Amino acid sequence: MDRQTLIDTIRRKQSFLCVGLDPDPARMPAHLGTGPEAVLAFNRALIEATSDLAVAYKPNVAFYETLGAEGWDILQQTMEAIPEGCLRIADAKRGDIGNTATRYAQAAFEAWNADAVTVAPYMGRDSVEPFLAFEDKWTILLAATSNPGAEDFEFHGAEGGQPLWRRVLEVSSTYAGADRLMYVVGATRPDWLAEVRAVVPERFLLVPGVGAQGGTLEAVCAAGWAESLAGGLLVNVGRSLMYASGGEDFAEAAREEALRLQQAMAEELAVSR
């Protein structure tokens, strides 16, 4: 999915909702049973219930790796269940160099048929450009995340007293294929989200942390909006949507939460900025 198609999809659906698919068997409805097939049934039901309201889905690879060999099959089948017209994001947070990075990219883009993959930028250009070499795909770099440990490195002073996340934004913008970069910025730090937007006004931002983690849609939009990109935001919502109900009505409850978010997003899209 190229930039203009993503913009058009956001406008058509009046939504910039990204649904996290991080299935925790301990929290899944009991009637689905247990094991990998239950995870797949859970995912498929959530996708079917929300695909007209979401523009992207983000399975976190770790939740599938923990299922062993069958987990890889479930991940691939989950990707296949996401309909055309929705961005498929493999949340893998890869970060290695050379041929290893290329193999990671091939796994995400070719084996799993993802449209985008999350990547850690710590090792620099030669850990990122192998992903950018796939011309019809997106690479989503971790920038200013909202976890407490982000203070260890991301927000630590670098050259000129600037935080490291700012150098990530500035230097990665010089990489080959940088027009296909997005960045991860946490919803719980709207002041820093505004600073990120000032540095990369023409980049999409993947924003986790709305809902269970305490971030709000209103604060995210106020801080990170990019009018030329139909907002330029992919707001990821996971637990508060996936586990809106623990009963047999879990898919219906997830849809209600997705609809609530979509309606709020439509209101944000209607505001002239």
Residues noted as catalytic = 93
Write the CB contacts of 127 (distance below 8 Å, at least 6 apart in sequence).
95, 96, 97, 101, 119, 120, 121
Q: Do residues 56 and 25 make contact, with C-beta atoms less than 8 angstroms apart?
A: no
Chain-centroid distance, C-alpha 201: 18
Q: Do residues 109 and 82 make contact, with C-beta atoms less than 8 angstroms apart?
A: no
Residue by residue, DSSP assigns 123-144 as: T-HHHHHHHHTSTTSEEEEEEE
In angstroms and rounded to an integer, the radius of gyration of the C-alpha atoms of the chain is 18
